Structure 1
């Protein structure tokens, strides 16, 4: 499986890079990391909706769960669109949908509006976006 640390670092760079050249390089790194995740998801899920099986949460589902929910709000706040491209990452997008629809997960996530507000505040404070 792709290094969790490499994915986390790529995500942080994609979300918090400032400047056109730095942002392009960071987006490329995030896309490379997601391509690795995509390949591993296809290999490890073996056609099931989640790593643990259909409707069964596995360890890797929990480890990667933040990407499917939290990162999309960071992307929206930063004006990016990386993790939602179903043509590039069909397994990842499908997995995200199934994972986030599980009652155990869905009922315990922070409200979307609040998470987007916090994401925008973080982006503003780090200089990623302007007021």
Structure 2
């Protein structure tokens, strides 16, 4: 099916979900590590609009944006389907994937960064979003049912990346008592060999998040 390359960063959850999809499909690929703070000519050439990772290169053609790439992978390599066959269920999966990126992820990061009296408010907002995801996984092994799929990969950042944000932000978001179904799913998901194989080192993520949060807090302090 042609040459496949991934331009990405091992610390990026958006890149990791692409590797998971390729591993599940059994697609061989070359991984090109990108310094996201010193963007290479290769990245700028293949994603000149957003200038972000990940970028999938398939026979020289560039595909950007991680959720778009997931759908592309599922359409090109039809083995082990990721998206549901039913049109309505496909739409629902896309909705919750977008919700996860725009609400759960950003809300969790805001809670990690927040300080003082804004901290608890940000935590409450993030947990409100997590409660919607909790309801979606209730009574199921995976978000699509009995087999891993598109939404699992889209939301697969939650177990490791939220744990890192919790430590850096000195808070608790994904409490097992409050989110038992998400907690159970997280354990199942993280035990999958293709998932384990592509996970970044926790220490590297901690270092990255500490640096990012300190930088953003310093910018906010300078504005005051």
Same fold flag (TM > 0.5): yes
Where in structure 2 are the equivalents of 1:61-72 lying within 5 Å?
A: 61-72=152-163
Where in structure 2 are the equivalents of 1:38-117 lying within 5 Å?
A: 38-42=134-138, 47-54=139-146, 56-83=147-174, 85-117=175-207
**Runs of 4+ in structure 1 over 3 Å off:** none
Higher relative contact order (CA 8 A, sep 6+): 1
Gaps of 5+ in 2: 1-94, 219-224
Q: Distance in 2 between matches of 1:48 and 1:6?
A: 22
- Residue of structure 2 aligned with 1:8, choices 89, 99, 105: 105
Report the number of matched residues: 121
Partner deviation per Cα, 1:80-122 (whole Å, 9 max, x = no partner): 1111x11100001111111111000011100111111212222
The structure that is strand-richer by fraction is 2
Find the counterpart in structure 2 of residue 28 from structure 1. Answer: 124
Larger radius of gyration between Structure 1 and Structure 2: 2
Q: Distance in 2 between matches of 1:105 and 1:15?
A: 24
Instruction: Please give the root-mean-square deviation of Cα atoms over the aligned residues, in Å.
Output: 1.8
Gaps of 5+ in 1: none
Q: Distance in 1 between matches of 2:188 and 2:140?
A: 10
TM-score by length of 2: 0.50
Q: Distance in 1 between matches of 2:210 and 2:126?
A: 20
